[in-house]
Amino acid sequence: MNDVILKEKLISEGATLVGFCDLGFSPIENQPELRYAVSIVVKLSDSVLKTIVDRPSISYFQYYRTVNYRLDQLCLTCVRYLEDKGFNAFPIAASQSIPTNKYSGIFQHKTVARLSGLGYIGKNALFITKEYGSKVRLATVLTDMPLSREGELILEDCGDCKICQNACPIGAIYGENFEPLNPNKDLLDREKCSQNMKRYQDVGRGAVCGLCIKACPKNKLK
């Protein structure tokens, strides 16, 4: 059962895309009922992305944080809606990390978005939507309200492209395709990527880079 009203509500409050899926398991310990997921996508501004040239910009950093805040607010809207209907709901923050893994959170948003049929995972390890390429940010709500994907999965479509690999200033991207049957395969060196971001203390307090997002031709920057 997919929820048209929930989708319309999230889009009216600022979501760009909304998808649903059945994960088949719950990522939350001792709450096996939370196997269904809502994927919430917000598109990034073309004009702000254009301010990234050979390093992140202060405009990108500030905007990135604002979009994350909006995504977290959308998660609260979603949780409230699901709880009002008598279901359980668990938000996963847009930007997250946990003490046991500084590069990941409770569960990957891009996995939920992919299983919801909203796009695929690119060689840059980012989520690529067919409408907006990698110029998106994501958040997730887990629930026990039965949900399922609308439409088919979108297959990986990077082909022979190496643009993001060449755009990375420290060679962190391996240039390999995501493998659905081996979803935990590393597509980039996260430690190297993190170290590179730390160079940009003046603009992003070491938290953003954006060069591989900006470079992806799937973005179709206006």
CA angle in degrees (0–180, nearest 5) for 40-114-213: 75
- Residue 41 or 209 with smaller CB distance to ligand SF4: 209
- Residue 36 or 178 with smaller CB distance to ligand SF4: 178
Task: Confirm if 12 and 81 have CB atoms less than 8 A apart.
Answer: no
CB of 80 to ligand SF4, least distance (A): 33
Neighbouring CB atoms inside 10 A of 210's CB total 23
Q: How is residue 52 written in tokens?
A: 């990234």
- Residue 79 or 118 with smaller CB distance to ligand SF4: 118
Q: How many CA atoms lie within 13 A of 214 on its CB side?
A: 19
Residues in the chain: 222
Using DSSP's 3-state secondary structure scheme, residue 48 falls into: helix
CB of 142 to ligand SF4, least distance (A): 27
- Residue 10 or 168 with smaller CB distance to ligand SF4: 168
Name the residue whose CB lies closest to ligand SF4. Answer: 122
CB of 116 to ligand SF4, least distance (A): 19
Residue 9 backbone dihedrals phi, psi, to 5 degrees: -65, -45
CA angle in degrees (0–180, nearest 5) for 201-205-207: 115
Alpha-carbon Rg for the chain in angstroms: 17
CB of 38 to ligand SF4, least distance (A): 25
- Residue 91 or 122 with smaller CB distance to ligand SF4: 122
CB of 164 to ligand SF4, least distance (A): 3
Contacts with ligand SF4 by CB under 6 A lie at 122-124, 128, 158, 161, 163-164, 167-168, 170, 172-173, 188, 193, 196, 209, 211-212, 215-218
